[in-house]
Amino acid sequence: MIKLYGFAVSNYYNMVKFALLEKGIAFEEVTATPSQEAAYTARSPMGKVPCIETPQGCLSETAAILEFLEDSHPEPRLLPADAFERAKVRELMHGVELYIELQARRHFRHVFFGEARSQTAVDEVRPVVENGLRALRQLMGKGPWICGGQFTLADIFAYHTFGYAAMAMNAIYGWDIVAEVPGLKEILARIGERPAAKRVDADQQAALQAFMAQKAAG
């Protein structure tokens, strides 16, 4: 059985968990936080979450894990059968991560943890996200899902990107980034109705409440 290491507050952890649930893969959750201790870096060389432990060995980095799950458990498909269409899904995922998720993440320590706001980040992040949203508008498909007619890894990735990114960008700029992309709000709502999404969201909310209570207690 696959072991999934991480914690339910992490959006990257939740991407992997969502894919495991969608594919009906049996897995065990093992609570772990980022660590540079040797016992953890033996599983995740950069000490990040998530990582998984399989009968073949350990694997880290969310994109690599998602690709492994698709290759090792091809049904139900979360990537198109056609090579070009698969590449288009990956193109959208990489764009969302590089130009929206990782940019908004520069504000997370201020928005979610109360650290000092970085004016450099305030000045630099918005133009990059604007370009990322423009690219997303261009790359989105015309079907009910983000890449068109098939539910894919891109839907999972976008769902767990915009959850935190939208909150951070609204807190810093008063900017609704979801509204910038026609149809995105409806797609995210549609994703949220899937049984896997409901399970992951419920666990995430419980973890967030526990985290906030621990933080308030000092």
Best CA proximity match to 49, nearest among 4, 85, 93, 110: 4
88-145 pLDDT, tens per residue? 999 999 999 999 999 999 999 999 989 999 999 999 999 999 999 999 999 999 989 9
83-216 maps to CATH 3.40.50.720: no
Asked if the peptide bond before residue 50 counts as cis, ω within 30 degrees of 0, the response is yes
154-203 pLDDT, tens per residue? 999 999 999 999 999 999 999 999 999 999 999 999 999 999 999 999 99
pLDDT value of position 210: 86
Distance between CA 90 and CA 38 in Å, rounded? 32
Q: What's the CATH number for 2-72?
A: 3.40.30.10
For residue 182, the SS3 value is: coil
Q: How many CB atoms lie within 10 A of CB 88?
A: 18
Distance between CA 165 and CA 209 in Å, rounded? 19
Is 70 exceeded by the pLDDT of residue 62? yes
Domain chopping of the chain, boundaries: 2-72, 83-216
